[in-house]
Amino acid sequence: MEVKSRKHTKKMHTKPKSIWEGFFKDKTHGGHRYSSEEFLAMEAREKLFHLDGGKTLLDFGCGSAELLTYYAPEYEQLLGVDFSPSMLGEASKRISERKYNNIDLILADHETLWENLDSDFDRITAAGVVQYLTFEEIDDFLAKASEYLSTDGKIVFFDILDPRLYPLWKLGVFTPNAGLLKALYRIGCDFQTSVTATLKNRPRDISGFTHNPYKIQKIANKNDFEMCYVQSMYYEYKYHAIMFRT
């Protein structure tokens, strides 16, 4: 598989193309609930269960490779992709520390990724990424991904914000000490954060957009994929979309 080496990652564009790219430009870690290796290992095991095999894997939005390095023992070759130079810098360190030689990294976004590929993948995945794409961008991503997916391959979008559950989570409904006063306090904080973000031209909600699973399913069907979705094991307000060819 001919890809850019992680030691010679090439920048594909010079300025932020979206508010999200600017926001993540200097970030070095992903948005996992806990940063401990024990939790990351458990989260990776859940995702490997849904990925269910394959020999080659493309991880779009791999961040600092916190999950990618746990996928590595299960695949012959892996490719991590992210548009954040700082994230890929951390990913390269993490991969080197764990002495994996079957992982390559590319600096690219959902548009520039495809021009760097010349082989198919058995699994194409993205964890906690789809909520930063619009429905149109998701449609385009699936259309292009299908060209680089092996015949029996699978595409899995992990941890998509569920519009039916995310508002409840923001109100603290799933917390042990949930209550009316706590909910009102969270509403006030959320409003203040939104106003400040708007004034500073930053994302109003750093978690991204919510996407109804039935809308994602419709887009998948349009691109000749069947889709099922399951609730995330470790994030009660997120779900996974698992797609395979019809």
Q: What share of the chain in percent tops pLDDT 70?
A: 74
- The reported pTM is 0.81
The answer to whether the CB of 242 falls within 8 A of the CB of 230 is: yes
For the residues 71-96, what does the mean pLDDT come to?
96
Task: Please check the confidence at residue 140 and state whether its pLDDT lies above 90.
Answer: yes
Task: Please check the confidence at residue 92 and state whether its pLDDT lies above 80.
Answer: yes
Classify the C-alpha dihedral 47-53-55-58 as positive or negative: negative
Strand, helix or coil at 60?
strand
pLDDT in tens, 43-69: 999 999 999 999 999 999 999 999 999
Q: Where are the domains of the chain?
A: 6-162+210-245, 164-207
Where does the pLDDT of residue 223 fall: very low under 50, low under 70, confident under 90, or very high at 90 and above?
Answer: very high
Region of poorest pLDDT, from 24-28, 33-37, 112-116, 210-214: 24-28
pLDDT in tens, 1-42: 544 444 434 433 333 356 656 666 666 676 777 889 999 999
**Comparison of pLDDT for 153 and 29, the residue scoring more:** 153
Query: Which spans in 78-130 are helix H?
Result: 85-97
CATH topology of domain 6-162+210-245: Rossmann fold (3.40.50)
The answer to whether the CB of 235 falls within 8 A of the CB of 159 is: yes
Where does the pLDDT of residue 186 fall: very low under 50, low under 70, confident under 90, or very high at 90 and above?
Answer: low
Task: Please check the confidence at residue 242 and state whether its pLDDT lies above 60.
Answer: yes
The predicted pLDDT at position 116 comes to 87
**Comparison of pLDDT for 191 and 21, the residue scoring more:** 21
- Distance set, CA 227 to CA 7, 142, 208 (Å): 36, 12, 22
**Comparison of pLDDT for 116 and 10, the residue scoring more:** 116
Terminus-to-terminus CA distance in the chain, angstroms? 26
